[in-house]
Amino acid sequence: MARNTNLNLIRSTTVVKSLSDKDILTNIKNGNFKVTSYKKNSVIHFDGETCSKLEIILSGKVVVDRIDESGDLFTISEFYQDDILGGNLLFSKNPYYPMTVSSQLPTDILEIDREALFELLYNNPIFLRTYLELISDHAFILGDKIKHYINKTIRESIMNYLRYESKSQNSNHIKLNITKKALAEKIGVQRTSLSRELAKMREDRLILFDTDSITLLK
Amino acid sequence: MARNTNLNLIRSTTVVKSLSDKDILTNIKNGNFKVTSYKKNSVIHFDGETCSKLEIILSGKVVVDRIDESGDLFTISEFYQDDILGGNLLFSKNPYYPMTVSSQLPTDILEIDREALFELLYNNPIFLRTYLELISDHAFILGDKIKHYINKTIRESIMNYLRYESKSQNSNHIKLNITKKALAEKIGVQRTSLSRELAKMREDRLILFDTDSITLLK
DNA sequence: AAAAAGGTGTTACCAACGTAACACACGGAG
DNA sequence: CTCCGTGTGTTACGTTGGTAACACCTTTTT
């Protein structure tokens, strides 16, 4: 990737956008901003590694996953261009990545040193605000994730999804904009189990459904 | 609670500690810092409510819980004196509490208005640093929680706990400092199920155990 | 010392759900 | 048009783990 393409990319990220070109260039020159490239399927951070910089994805795709006892790998979260990594951990007293972070595609990442970041934060209220917003949004997603993993029965997960969609589509008749297969993946269950549970819910007169829509009856 | 007891409590919290008395008193006077008391078992925030202030627990106990389809209530997280609430959400573009927050004991809470907080943050680097540390620690705990809820089998949860304890006690012979009942609660399963799984793991020659210790064999 | 309370281990029973295998429908490629 | 890939619905089977009931033990209360 050409050097100035990178510069444009860097400048266009949400985090950096509120900085002056001078700030950006100074930080690049003295090594506080650094771009690292990863090949497809490289580990970026191991579980337990210390987190000492903020990372911003310039291009590519990054996933957080875990491997269970039987060796099955399973993806918890995906990050794309403009997403940040480590922002929520960075200033913790135990700044350890809690899970393995790796690139699923060729990925370019901008790294910002912790202390340099701190300097920028307290010298630039707009930058501070942006940063706080970003990590807050991040934490919100985390919270949502927990809420999601806490649903124990498939039916609960389905109802959760349906209620949300029903609100956002403002109708009890919910148009599925994704395939059932994708829905199953989204709520983290087998497709067949989803299928079975939907059938049961129809028996219980909770819903009606066809290939691309579901109607909430209660 | 007497007014000056409160002031001492406020002054002694991690967040506020790095502020000058003058800052504290000014903010109290103009209403940016406000103390609210809750009786035992009151709802502090409903699921979905907008979060517009940072809250610091001065005394009491606060829990985050959820109610499942069958009406069972189940606690996700507990907070005590000096813990903060909402810190990770506050500056999000969708600052909604993702779950119900309530007091489990009589509780006093210091509320700090978002904009007042922001003022303090960008005017006081030590305060900023402290705040970032706090919310980072918080996010770390969140991440850990996810990691925990993601363990699907009881055996995985147990092994997770044992490996952690084994490291921190620096021995394969792990002294249980809590009862098995408490351990079961900690990893979120029935006591009997824990008991059964421990027995199975012994059969599988993974562990040995007695009433107050467990030995990891692999 | 007797009684009450709470932790522990065990087991029969059952609901939830992942696995695997099969049938069918649809849309694009040859 | 046929063939293949992919999404979909169904079902038999097995595993995991929650429920409930009971026995045993230790500690605390009276």
CA of B168 to C1' of D11 (A): 48
Q: What is the CATH number of the domain that holds A12?
A: 2.60.120.10
Query: pLDDT by residue (tens digit) across A67-111?
Result: 666 666 677 788 888 999 999 889 998 888 888 898 988 899 999
pLDDT at B1 over 50: no
Find, in chain B, the residue whose alpha carbon is nearest to that of A146: B146
Q: Is A183 in the same domain as A121? A: no
Lowest mean pLDDT among A205-214, B80-89, B143-152, B203-212: B143-152
pLDDT at A2 over 50: no
Please give the average per-residue pLDDT across B145-155, as a whole number.
82
Tokens 């055996």 correspond to B155
Q: Is A22 in the same domain as A130? A: yes
Q: Is A145 in the same domain as A168? A: no
Query: pLDDT by residue (tens digit) across B95-127?
Result: 888 888 988 888 999 999 999 999 999 888 999
Domain span holding position A181: 154-216
Q: Is B197 in the same domain as B96? A: no
Q: Of A129, A149, A169, which closes a domain?
A: A149
Q: Is A98 in the same domain as A188? A: no
Find, in chain B, the residue whose alpha carbon is nearest to that of A151: B68
Q: Of A132, A149, A166, which closes a domain?
A: A149
Q: Which pLDDT score, from 0 to 100, does residue A5 have?
A: 59
pTM of the model: 0.80
Question: Nearest nucleotide by C1' from A152 CA?
Answer: C16
Residue B113 near residue B28 (C-beta atoms within 8 A): no
Paired tokens of B132 = 């970032």
d(CA A85, CA A8): 20
Residue of least CA–C1' distance to C9 = B195
Paired tokens of A68 = 């269970």
CA of residue A134 relative to chain centroid, distance: 12
Q: What is the CATH number of the domain that holds B186?
A: 1.10.10.10
**Dihedral sign (CA B192, B197, B203, B207):** negative
B195 touches strand C (CB under 7 A): yes
Q: Which residue has the higher pLDDT, B3 or B49?
A: B49
Please give the average per-residue pLDDT across B16-40, as a whole number.
89
The secondary structure of residue A19, as a DSSP letter, is: S
- Chain A interface with B: residues with Cβ < 8 Å: 66, 68-69, 76, 88-96, 98-99, 118, 121-122, 125, 128-129, 132-133, 135-140, 142-147, 149-153, 155-156, 159
